[in-house]
Amino acid sequence: METPRFDILGQAISDASRTRMLCELMEGRSFTNKELAGAAGITPQTATAHLRLLQHAGLVIAQKRGRCVYHRLSGPEVAQALEQLAAIAPADSLYRAQRRKAGGLAEVRSCYDHLAGPLAVAMTEALISRGHLREENGGFVPLAGPIWGQLGVDLPQRAGRTPFARPCMDWTERRLHIAGPMGRQILTRALEAGWLQRPQRGRGLEVTPSGQRALREILGIGGQPGQITVSPAREEA
C-alpha cells in the first residue's frame, strides 16, 4: 500500500497567497490567473508559480477556453477537505481567509456545489427535527416524503457507492450541513426557483423574498439576518 504524500499537500497549502486563491476557488466557479492574482493580492507572474504548485498537488486543474486559461478546484472532495481544514485552522491562516472570502458570517454561501453557513445548518437541523432526515453511522439518511420534491431532491432508488447525503462540518458554525448529491440538488433547486441569488463575485448568496416564503412554508425557517429561527413542525390533524 502506497503512503499518502501529505508532505505535497502540506507544501501546497502552506502559503497564505495560495490559501487565498483556494478560498476563491471554493466558490465552485473557474477563474483566470489574473483574477486569482487579484484575490490573493499578488502579481499574475507570482500567481502562475503558485498555481503550478497547486496543480502538482492535485488541488487545482487548468482548462483553456479560447484565448484564456481558467483554473478551478479539481473536484468536490478538494472543497470538502478545505472546508474541514477551515474548521480547525488558526484564525490567522485559512480560517481568516475564509471569513474574508465569505464576507463575514454570511447567512448562506456556497461551498463548491452545496449550501453552507448558518442557513444551511438551520435547514439541516430542521429536516432532522421534523423527521425527514436522520443521522446514521456518521451519515444522513433521508426518509421518503413529499418534502424532497419541494426541495428539488430526487431520492435514489438504491444506495450508491458514495453517500447521497453527506455531512459536512460548517467552518463558521462548527455544526453539520448537507453535502453530497442531495446538497447539490438543493442548491440547484434554490437557484433555479429564484429562492437564492448569486452575486457576480464571492460565495455569499442572497435570499430573495420568494426564498424567504419557501423556507418558512417548507421548513419553518424565518427570522432576520443573524437571527435565524426554526419553527416546530405542525402536528398532523
Question: Tens of pLDDT along 195-234?
Answer: 998 776 655 788 899 999 999 999 999 754 444 555 544 4
pTM for the complete prediction?
0.63
Q: Which CATH number does the domain housing residue 58 bear?
A: 1.10.10.10
Same domain, 34 and 112: no
- Whether residues 132 and 224 fall in one domain: yes
| Residue 226: predicted pLDDT | 45
Between 46-55, 86-95, 145-154, the lowest mean confidence (pLDDT) is in 86-95
Domain that holds residue 156: 102-230
Last residue of a domain, one of 81, 96, 111: 96
Using the predicted structure, report yes or no on whether residue 102 has a pLDDT greater than 50: no
Checking if the pLDDT of 26 tops 90, the result is no
The pLDDT, as a whole number, for residue 161 is 72
pLDDT of 193 reads 95
- 53 with 12: CB under 8 angstroms? yes
Total number of domains in the chain: 2
- pLDDT (0 to 100) of residue 23: 82
Select the more confidently predicted residue: 96 or 132: 132
Q: Which of 45, 65, 96 is at the close of a domain?
A: 96
Is residue 59 over pLDDT 90? yes
- Where do the H-state alpha helices sit in the chain? 6-12, 16-25, 33-40, 44-56, 76-88, 94-101, 118-129, 147-150, 180-192, 209-219
Pairing of strands 139-142, 229-230: unpaired
Across the chain, mean pLDDT equals: 82
Same domain, 41 and 146: no
21 lies in some domain: yes
For residue 235, tell me if it sits in a domain: no
DSSP 78: H
